[in-house]
């Protein structure tokens, strides 16, 4: 049995970037001591979720991929001998920014990067203001712990993204995330949203016969503009197996630092039972590249 020990860090963040990243560093060390081989962080884990308002000053938070903060995580990967999934606000050039995930190999080298392809824009999630949609496409990244399909947050609602990663050989789908509810939604609506978020990602696991790791932030962050009541990030980070079965689920209102074991051989067995890849009608899928067909 080829087991992958996945470390998950679901964290409540403050305005203090150094404090956030120091706490993550301590948790990475702790998870590594407990045997983690791969550690997944939440989306934009060093900062508050600054997209609640549109403010040009927030671009100060963006960093380049050779920034000291990236090197800090590279050092941590090397120190702890773990593969790290890092999510950051990337400054690619003046006036050109991305929401980028980087994969750091356990020797500290950069294994690859993914620039968030689907960018949301909703009240309190003004990401289209900050992030240019990724131009790298959907490509799995080879690491010492397997071939990883790293996507980011809003991507998780798109079956196309999951499928393209699986077709590119991803052995696991990974989603750093920042999602929550606004207090004016009814409790029933909040519950439906949380469940929908879980179900659609478990569906990707089923449709592609791969495990899914989704790591979300937790806790309330106020809206600096006071236009809304802020976001209560719903935590509930989870790991699902290749039949969509829940292997682990974090609390919705507490931080979580957890190791989850994934049996990486199971996908091969599941895909024998359910050979969906055998029967895809690629001759009839061209409409998927259309905006709408009606």
Helix pair 159-167, 187-208: axis angle to 10 deg: 20
Candidate list 105, 113, 153, 171, residue with the active-site label: 153
Candidate list 116, 127, 171, 258, residue with the active-site label: 116
Tell whether residue 206 is a contact of its own copies (CB under 8 A): yes
Taking CB under 8 A as the criterion, the residue among 120, 132, 190, 261 binding its own copies is 120
Is 127 part of the annotated catalytic residue set? no
Count of residues interacting with its own copies (CB under 8 A)? 56
* Cβ closest to its own copies, residue 125 vs residue 252: 125
Tell whether residue 98 is a contact of its own copies (CB under 8 A): no
Tell whether residue 244 is a contact of its own copies (CB under 8 A): yes
Options 60-68, 90-98, 151-159, 218-226: segment touching its own copies (CB under 8 A): 151-159
Tell whether residue 34 is a contact of its own copies (CB under 8 A): no
Residue 134 near residue 118 (C-beta atoms within 8 A): no
Q: How far is CA 43 from the centre of its chain?
A: 6
Taking CB under 8 A as the criterion, the residue among 107, 196, 222, 251 binding its own copies is 196
- Give min distance, CB of 45 to its own copies, in A: 23
Instruction: Kindly list the residues in this chain that would bind its own copies in the complex (CB under 8 A).
Output: 117-120, 122, 133, 137-138, 140, 154, 157-164, 167-169, 192-193, 195-196, 199-204, 206-207, 243-245, 273-277, 279-282, 284-294
């Amino acid at each position: 049995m080829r087991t992958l020990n996945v470390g998950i860090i679901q964290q409540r963040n403050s305005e203090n970037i150094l404090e956030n990243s120091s706490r993550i560093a301590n948790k990475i060390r702790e998870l590594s001591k407990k045997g983690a081989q791969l550690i997944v962080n939440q989306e934009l884990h060093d900062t508050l979720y600054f997209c609640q308002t549109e403010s040009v000053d927030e671009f100060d938070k963006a960093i380049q991929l050779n920034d000291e903060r990236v090197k800090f995580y590279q050092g941590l990967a090397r120190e702890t001998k773990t593969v790290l999934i890092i999510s950051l606000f990337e400054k690619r050039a003046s006036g050109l920014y991305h929401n980028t995930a980087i994969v750091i190999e356990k020797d500290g080298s950069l294994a690859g990067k993914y620039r968030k392809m689907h960018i949301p824009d909703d009240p309190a999630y003004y990401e289209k203001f900050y992030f240019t949609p990724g131009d790298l496409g959907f490509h799995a990244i080879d690491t010492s712990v397997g071939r990883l399909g790293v996507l980011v947050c809003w991507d998780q609602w798109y079956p196309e993204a999951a499928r393209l990663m699986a077709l590119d050989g991803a052995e696991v789908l990974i989603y750093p995330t920042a999602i929550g509810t606004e207090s004016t939604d009814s409790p029933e609506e909040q519950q439906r949203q949380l469940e929908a978020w879980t179900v659609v990602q478990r569906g990707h696991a089923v449709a592609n016969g791969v495990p899914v790791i989704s790591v979300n932030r937790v806790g309330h962050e106020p809206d600096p503009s006071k236009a809304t009541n802020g976001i209560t990030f719903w935590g509930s980070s989870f790991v699902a197996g290749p039949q969509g079965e829940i292997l682990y689920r974090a609390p919705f209102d507490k931080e979580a630092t957890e190791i989850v074991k994934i049996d990486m051989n199971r996908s091969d067995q599941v895909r024998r039972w359910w050979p969906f890849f055998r029967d895809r009608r690629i001759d009839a899928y061209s409409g998927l590249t259309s905006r709408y067909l009606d």
